[in-house]
Amino acid sequence: MIGLRVAGALLALSSSLLSAQEASVFVGGARARYGDSASGTAGFVAARLGSASGPQAGQLDASVARFIDGGWALQVGAQGTAVWRTGSGATVAGVAAGAALSDFQNGRASGTAAVGPLAAFPLGASSLVVGAAAGVARTVDGVWNALGSASLRWQWTPAASVAFDAGVTGTAADTLRLADVSLALRVQAGAVRGAASAGLRVGSLDGPWGAAELVWEPVPRLAFEVAAGRYPRDLTGFADGLYAQAGLRLYPLRGPPAARRASPARRAPVTAHPRGDGRVEIRVRYAQPVRSLAIAGDWNAWTPVPLVPDGANHWSIALPLAPGAYKYALVADGEWTVPDGAATVPDDFGGQVGVLMVGGEDPAPLPDAAPSQ
Amino acid sequence: MIGTRLAVAGLVAAALATGAAAQERDVRAELAARGAPAAFVEQVGALVDQTRAQGLPPGPLADKALEGWAKRVPPERVVLALEQVRARLGDGRQAARGAGLADPPGPVIAAAGEALGRGMAADDVRELIRTAPTADDAAAGLAVAASLAAQGLEMRAAVRAVHDAYGRGRGPNHLFELPSAVADLAARGVPMSDVARRIMQGGGLPLPPMVGGPGNGQGPPSGVPRGPPITPPGKATGKKQ
């Protein structure tokens, strides 16, 4: 029964990857200095397929590196989860699987593959994730070993753009016994996101490790990525090393056509910005040339209020709105409409209305009045 | 801080009940003041009265009538829409009761009905209500999940995002910022599938670290070749040959 569930989860992951909703190509260079004093510089091309569909998520990475002094290396990694919510509130349980493969010119392929259950328990503003996995490892000298691991992670997301992750993972393979204690931080600010992690491996392959990564996405289909770090000796027989890499990630495909059509918020033509004085600035980007533009919604019994021109194709107004969910429509030269690209729902009359969410500014002073009519 | 939270909750309740705010207004007087024909005014008023008599919040009907009249929708079509809204409210109340609320507040009924009307599964509606810390949270969560779906997020992913936000102890004030976060990512070209994943990761369920694989501190990232084997490879693993 368990085998069937695992097989089902893997099948679901495979089908998710086959219908990848994100595909990207990374072109860059890396400089690595290994623990045994050997070092190398390589240029490489990597590809990534990612998919998240409901309770399933998966990612496949593959890269080919060419050293400037000759030789090549191939690496492939895949990981995925399929989860189910349990009947007890926000707790989820599921299956996680991961695999990695390395192959060098004139060398033997090595890698690991493991699958196992996981469960996540909400703890206030954080979550506790418990997991275990069993699988196999193939060492660089071609020896197959069974491996097993167990992990405990605590994840805390104090804000939408900041996340902490602390965990401990124990791994056993053949005669190796090792544990990793880790701490990670992930932040995002506008088009820039960064991640840093550090840890200590104790036991058979002891040593510190750490990594930092910075990604800047100046435009939708392009990202600059730099990363550096130190990785430890691993259980397939590779040496530890220091590395630095930099490159460009291109997104020639940002999801299948259906997914792109399902992304009306891409252009975000109407936005709400609380000003802190009890009013919310509504900004509207309306591409079509019009003489007048007004906004109406369920906050004022659908009474159009004129918007003020605010730059090319932009209009704005400050309204006394409390945090909440609102419906709206625009009146452009007397015609009711919703701007292209807005999040909409049917209006029950055969048309559409826009959906506008107004967030709060906690802990800033809050307005002390309900929305005015 | 608690006072602030309560103030927010109160404002949210007021905002969610925008339609409910209409229930306090005299929809007959408002429609008449806007030049609606008397027969239409009376038809709408009667529907609103019947809805109230059924124990359902009449605000959404009043709001829909005002919206329809403002858009110059033919009266008969407005009345049909009001019947649809009333049916959704009934479904919403049933779902709320199924979630354990014997006498669900109007905003929860309205939000549940709206969510069901937008394709949210009844089980998901009930669970979002059941697991919400407060009734205000339930109404906000339902509205936000439906809004996230309107933005292009898969409905199940939207429900999970709200569910995770509940789990992290986020109140309505934070919930209403979720759509902005989604819009921000989408505006930068991040596909909705990836947006969903990032939100879920923020919710505490990232992809697990691979055993012995690259990334997550256990090896170099994709593209950086691993170091040469410790010589001889077999001995480094402790494997006896």
pLDDT (tens digit per residue) in B200-213: 554 333 344 444 33
pTM exceeds 0.80, yes or no: no
Q: What is the pLDDT of residue B53?
A: 95
- What is the number of helices (H) and of strands (E) in chain B? 14, 0
Instruction: Report the Cα B103 to chain-centroid distance in Å.
Output: 21
pLDDT tens-digit readout, A284-338: 988 888 889 999 999 999 999 999 988 778 899 999 998 888 999 999 999 999 9
A:111-170 residues touching chain B, CB 8 A cutoff: 111-112, 114, 118, 120, 122, 124-127, 129, 131, 133, 135, 137, 139-141, 143, 145, 147, 149, 151, 155, 157, 160, 163, 165, 167, 169
Q: Is A368 on the interface with B (CB under 8 A)?
A: yes
Q: What is the pLDDT of residue B216?
A: 38
Binary contact (B192, A262; C-beta < 8 A): yes
Q: What is the pLDDT of residue B14?
A: 47
pLDDT tens-digit readout, B184-196: 666 666 667 667 6
Q: What is the pLDDT of residue B232?
A: 39
Q: What does the alpha-carbon distance between residue B232 and residue B144 come to, in Å, rounded to a whole number?
A: 58
3-state secondary structure at position A302? coil
Question: Does pLDDT of B38 surpass 90?
Answer: yes
Binary contact (A127, B78; C-beta < 8 A): no
Tell me which amino acid residue A289 is: P
Nearest to B58 by CA among B96, B113, B102, B4: B113
Binary contact (A98, B208; C-beta < 8 A): yes
Band the pLDDT of B219: cuts 50, 70, 90. low
Q: What does the alpha-carbon distance between residue B61 and residue B48 come to, in Å, rounded to a whole number?
A: 6
- Low pLDDT (below 50) residues in chain A: 1-13, 15-20, 54, 89, 254-267, 361-373
Tell me which amino acid residue B180 is: S
Binary contact (B211, A34; C-beta < 8 A): no
Question: Does pLDDT of B37 surpass 90?
Answer: yes
Instruction: Report the Cα A313 to chain-centroid distance in Å.
Output: 32
Residues, chain B, total? 241
Whether the Cβ atoms of residue A124 and residue B239 lie closer than 8 Å to each other: no
Q: Strand pairing of A56-67 and A39-53?
A: antiparallel
Instruction: For residue A169, give the nearest of B178, B209, B219 by CB distance.
Output: B209
